[in-house]
Chain A
Amino acid sequence: MTLAHPGALAGRLITLEPLGLEHVDGLADASRDGDLSAIWFSVVAAPDEMRADVERRMQAAAEKRMYQFAVRRNDSGQIIGMTGYMSLDHEVPRAEIGFTWFGRSAQGSGANPESKLLLMRHAFEVWDCAAVEFSTDLHNHRSREAILRLGAKQDGILRSYRRQARGYLRDLVMFSIIAAEWPAVSLALEDRVRRHLAHRE
């Protein structure tokens, strides 16, 4: 079985567009908002490396290993970040949702919960995944809290897991949501998106 690319995923606050070269400039601008690539544990590409980063992820999509998206706000049309599926296991099936980042001004805007809702709905309801995985750096407390707030459970911490570009050894925190947990996670995310919409009106 092969998990087919879902194409664009449209939500009420944001739309996830299959990552392409047309997104490079918008992504570079979004990453400058908060200077995300400068955070010491960051894996966000520096603005001048964004094109190479996008090309690498497009290649991984062609090989069906990773389907990455650019996140666009529906109201302003602005590109605000990136997210997508990684570590696709077509046999289980299982997917990691990762390489997620948002420009600082989009943080707390509801864009992240809605993008998770769109990605997980497709993973559980179309692909019929047994589980969806999240992982993050031990030191990325913002990300760890955001993942827990989704309703994911922490499966463990993989010690000295990978040498990062800056030279240090990353401990990787592993989380999952399994299929039986999806209905409750879905309700909670829909509620969060509704509150962001109500807040705007």
Chain B
Amino acid sequence: MALTHPGTLQGRLVTLEPLSHEHHDGLVEAVRDGELWKLFYTRVPAPEEMTAEIDRRLELQRQGSMIPFTARRADSGRIIGMTTYMNIDAETPRVEIGSTWNAVSAQASGTNPESKLLLLRHAFEVWGCPAVEFRTDFHNHQSRAAIARLGAKQDAVLRSHLRQPSGYVRDTVVFSIIASEWEGVRLGLEQRLRRYLP
């Protein structure tokens, strides 16, 4: 059994479109806004690596382990970042939401919580996942705080777990939201989004 692709996920602030090479130039422009690839604890692609990164994600999609998206602002149509379902376990079913980055000017605009709402709603309400996972670098305090603010619980710190592109071996913090927690998480996200909506 494979999980069916959700197609485009349409929110009020953000649209998540299936990743394609047509998004390349917009993604390069978005990633320059904040130069996130320079942070030692991230795996964000540099502008010249964007084509290879799109290829990598599409290849994982072909193998069935990833469903990658491009995030676009609903008002201006501007591309602001990437996100995915990854490490897909179609049998349980269980997914990780990850490989996410957003242009700095899009941060705190409500697009990230709405992206999470769209992705989590589909995972829990359409696919019937018993759990959704998030992972980040131990040193990425911004990401850890954002994941905890969703209402995810910290399950583990996997020590000396993954080699980062900068060469060091990171500790990975693993979080999850399980199905019985989804309603509270959904209400929290909807409340946060009201601030950004007219």
Contact = CB atoms under 8 A, between A and B. Distances in A.
A91 B94 CA distance: 25
Interface of B: 89, 91-94, 130-131, 133, 153-163, 169, 174, 176, 178-179
Contacts of A162: 89, 91-92, 94
Interface string A161-201: 11100000100001010110000000000000000000000
A179 B153 CA distance: 28
B169 A159 contact: no
A144 to B, nearest CB: 14
A130 B178 contact: no
Contacts of A161: 92, 94, 131
A199 to B, nearest CB: 34
Contact of A159 (B89, B93, B131, B159): B131
A29 interface: no
Nearest to B129: A160
A186 B9 CA distance: 52
B176 A159 contact: yes
A94 B161 contact: yes
A176 B93 CA distance: 26
A169 B155 contact: no
B160 A178 contact: yes
Looking at chain A's contact residues, the main secondary structure is strand
B156 A158 contact: yes
A92, A131, A158 — most chain B CB neighbours (10 Å): A158
Contact of B176 (A131, A133, A160): A160
B176 A158 contact: yes
Interface residues of A, number: 22
Contacts of B160: 92, 94, 130-131, 176, 178-179
Interface of A: 89, 91-92, 94, 130-131, 133, 153, 155-163, 169, 174, 176, 178-179
A92 B163 contact: yes
A91 B169 CA distance: 10
B162 A157 contact: no
A160 B130 contact: yes
Nearest to B170: A92
Contacts of B158: 133, 155-156, 174, 176
29 contacts: A89-B162, A92-B169, A131-B161, A133-B158, A153-B159, A155-B159, A156-B154, A156-B156, A156-B157, A156-B174, A157-B156, A158-B155, A158-B176, A159-B153, A159-B155, A159-B176, A159-B178, A160-B92, A160-B94, A160-B130, A160-B178, A161-B94, A162-B89, A163-B92, A169-B92, A169-B131, A176-B160, A178-B160, A179-B160
Contacts of B93: 163
A176 B179 contact: no
